[in-house]
A and B are shown apart, each in its own frame.
Chain A
């Protein structure tokens, strides 16, 4: 991108000011400085996001979706770095406009020059339409869309529509990597592949019917045809509303997947991480990274904080599985139940908070199929700001009188962790299932330090 002299000077001033802020915040240990420098930079140069991102040599990869952004971004970064590329990445998860600017500023010199081969930016679903025209991404990865924090956001339908509109208007050769098992996102791909400025579209998804769920979970959002509104017919469901679908009325159906899921191992545990892996692999193969490099990154993958992250504490293994909404809690429960069934664990700790990053409305726990978890037995320790709401949900989940599940309520988080660990056998792993702010609190107790 050509930048004229005046812009270069203004950009320089903006970068200088923002970097001074970062240095000040860090020197005086006022915080992690992951957002404020971006705010200042944007004040001084409104086009700063465009001017910085367009200096990235091979362009920006946007990672979008309700769940899995952080894990997928981290895997993309690992693969690219293993292949020798220089990557800029918002690893702290600051995924609103000012957080994105701050990330790019970190890698920018005082003269406003940013040297990177690829930018990997996870972006909040509501901010996507705003930043796409500025970032002009090379790739947009659409992971999934689930019901999430309705107190903060609108509805799933409107989000897909706004994404489609923003991508359709791009002039450049953007490639969409979308979830072919998700009706709304598959439809998005099919729409973008035609029209005035057709885009290249790649579909990832599963081809493993043995992973079909017994039934469609209660908390599903889009089981209606995005084209004609008729209820879709499913041969099987892999996760929430993602599966092998077909519209009985119009010609809407699945697109051919660009990848065979059987050919690839996955990172971490759970079907949801299979999807995250496949999204990353599809993108990397499209860029032209070789299979051995990708496989190497997958097998050496270290979880992002709180996302299936494993920590040793007092001689026992703890796995933290962040949950944010019904879809992620359903899938987390499924993954943990599998470990329980195999004898690898028997105790879980569930922590429900209702602070702003968690969503202040906790009613979504009633959309989770916790019956499956409770009726599998074992011990569940409960804690958090809304400990009694969570405990109540679990008590009402006891629908099988033949199976006992111990539900232990501990208001104090440290007490809850100690209790759960004491009940965990030495050769078992303790699964911690927290909401976002609870995840940060748990990590602080287990590692002895704050990260954000």
Chain B
């Protein structure tokens, strides 16, 4: 029913859609560049985020495929906790356990054929046929394919990827190197059921044990179950300490845990570009709203409801988001393809050994990033829309442009509240090993920092604004910015956000790199290092021969093997070295327990990541699956930036006594004064058995240090790229915003020229304004960035990667960023100023309606 006064009911937003459409279309037709620039900003953010996510997802899928390829996708497995394997007498006990239908023993070796690396599996073909049929090799059809091929001690079945990498055909004879032995084998067939990208070889288990020196040991028992609920408890009761139960899920979780923190950090960094894009939309829409203040006032006077103004601006943001997000998804797919093609699945960080060249489509992620792009554009428009709708139409119609009031105080408390809330959130612990509160804290602090820019600009400029002497252009520039700090903030919000995050990342990376460099200097105390590859080892006879090399003062041998503590976590590194009562150079101790007494458990030193991951504190007694279940006393915690999954160090003598393993895989040598390290290294290599030589790498500390830092820089290369893009998007925002703001002040410039200011003075005024705006942005960004870097260094890094460091400030980067920003803003303002002052003074002061 119509109301009594006869006016139509409702706000009329829907019925007025024709007028709304005209307004939006008219704005786009008149300012297509603004529309496109903001859409590109969103597209860049979405593209980076989506690309990083696709690359990570594709790498994980490939890793998952590789795990299934070598595990044969058994329902449940019993796995050895270390490469030493477990006693094969466990096999019949497991096979007879309640709930177990069948069991297939597997020997697993890291092998090499020529330069190609692959996983070599020894299987019992009869058992594997029922438990893991994908590991059964297929013979080619032909006359020489008797049934005994599978049991032939020289027969090797290779997956398609292995065949390609090795360059072999069926029937090719080749030498397989594993466990320090070189064994001639013949390619007898293929493994059609394995993942096509996984390099794996399969041979008879008995032949593998015998020919590769692993008699009596097996690494895995793949199981077919009749009743899982009965089998699991029954198996747990009989498993020795050096074996654990494992499923495909726990294996995947292990792979996921290895790189999860890195991937999440990369995702977050990629989202920075999207956030900057959102700020750019905010800048552009704010300016657009200011420019259209009179038009909106007219529309309100003609009867458009407030909601109509909000709808117009938000719909513009929505359209920007739709175009930007759609373009971003397409670009993101292309970027992901290129990144996988050129850098690999871990973008150079070295987490995934397997290679992947295929982008795995992830519809959920595509929808998610599309929605994030839309959200950034809509939120970037919502605030300006609200401001536009709030303006009183009568005043705006008369006084557009005269809204500055230098006496109006600038609120500081919203920024303070956000910064304090961010700091408080950062102090909360990690969730499921991820520093989610740390990221939330950073986001809140970032919002607080950006919200505080007007207050910061006003505070910074107040002493300058009090000056009454100086050049007129300079005074005008300072007074304008002092009176309208919000304008500067509009131009700066994107660049402050991206600069802050860039400075935070740069400070964290500098601190991290400095800490790694210092640590490398401490741990690389010897003159020469020899290390085996592909599972090869130095046996006692070889070590004795090497010890007799002329020029050597002292040798230390060590053994490093992976040790699985929990089925769903990556294994820690067990390092056996002559620890010399905690004085080993590898042990850069950051905490020490009480002295270990003679009747105490054996001493063990745990690395910082192991201490944080497993909660092993100095003085605590822990049990590790070494030679059954052995108790150790944690003698100290040492700094280790090399092994993210954690490491434990025990004395070489204790290790050998416990495990009986007399092999070593690394030698550190101190040479006599005056001896030539290169010659000594050659002499040492010459004393190695001929078949071991190709599997040993020699290096000097400087080379190793350089290599380590190169790897470090490569793993952070993608983060530098993402930061650079965010900064570029931010700079584009400053350029666009400043030029739009300058052009919007044409009338002011016309008036000043009427008063006698020359074009040169106007240009100087604008350059000064631009430089002040740029410097303000740089100072705000740097200050905020240094605060955020503390969250990265002291919260996100320890929670993600489990290592700590002290802060090192990249002074050169800070100066560079401040200079670049100030210069870019001044240059942009000058260029825009030239255009704005090119009109005649009379034309400029004329009404432009």
The answer to whether A and B assemble together is no
B→A interface (CB under 8 Å): none
